[in-house]
Structure 1
């Protein structure tokens, strides 16, 4: 059985991420979804906690029937100590045979440690962008709801996430 690793910040988990997991599972038996920057939250770029992001992912994948083939884990950053990041990945993750990422730094670090890396096709990247979704939320524009799974929107609503993003952007002078 082959198990793959897919790392992202998932701020928030959107339909592009969902399609990426579907695509990986069409090639691999299982996928580990690694929530990167797990220790960071309540920032404009990272407004949601690791637990909130895990709930977004779990709720969505449970509803799709994919959850039996997915393991959700948290991976904290190593704050500019890139050589330690892959050690964190290996420590916090079950074993895997291949990693999937389109992030060039992650690719370089994983490959330098001998981990095979594959790219994921982008699924309407301009539309499904965490940055764009957070900007819409900061503007209180309900268009963000069409870009995330229903279950993700439900988690965001339950934590008053749109208001949180708006306030974080306002504090940072971004709206």
Structure 2
């Protein structure tokens, strides 16, 4: 195992099995991983329904259950309101030292590479099945979303009344 640290960026709205598979894939390549939860300041919208603290709790419970706490750091990262040139500076200020970033987001890749940061793609793991937008839609529509997220994530979503929140945001209050 390398003596290195990766930086895995995502919004995790919510954290699903595709994210977990990606995390495990990164951990096969890195000694430690910093999970940067993006759009930290946003919540209570259809695109970003969960707060930063709720998303941290989701990821933390998953990491803890799998005994990965000694290898994973979880932190929030706010967006820079489309002032893209500031984003990498914000990362350098907020995030502990890392050797490479892992993201499939094209804008993030461009900004990080322009700043001289090594960037690696992450394989998509059953992207047609594990996709957060689809999971949020299933939650709203009363579909079977729980099989797409780790049990710890479903538990947090229920505890914070995330199903009710998403349905209300979509105008489908019960």
Q: 1:5-154 maps to which residues of 2 (within 5 A)? A: 5-141=7-143, 143-154=144-155
- How many residues in Structure 1 have an aligned counterpart in Structure 2? 170
Secondary structure, counterpart of 2:122 in structure 1: coil
- Return the structure number with greater helix share: 1
Aligned residue in 1 for 2:159: 158
Residue deviations 1:5-54, cap 9 Å, x none?
00000000000000100000000100000000000000000000000000
Provide the C-alpha distance between the structure 1 equivalents of 2:77 and 2:30, rounded to a whole number of angstroms: 21
TM-score, structure 1 as length reference: 0.95
Q: Which runs of 5+ in 1 are unaligned?
A: none
CA drift at 1:162: 0.7
Q: Partners in 1 of 2:76 and 2:53 — Cα distance?
A: 9
| Deviation (angstroms), 1:67 | 1.9
Shift of 1:68: 1.4
3-state SS in 1 of match to 2:70: helix
Q: 1:164 offset after TM fit, Å? A: 0.5
Output the TM-score relative to the length of structure 2.
Answer: 0.96
Distance in structure 2 (CA, Å) of the matches to 1:131 and 1:140: 14
SS of residue matched to 2:170: helix
* Superposition misfits of 4+ residues, deviation over 2 angstroms: none
Residue 113 of structure 1, CA deviation? 0.4
Cα distance in 2 for partners of 1:35, 1:97 equals 18
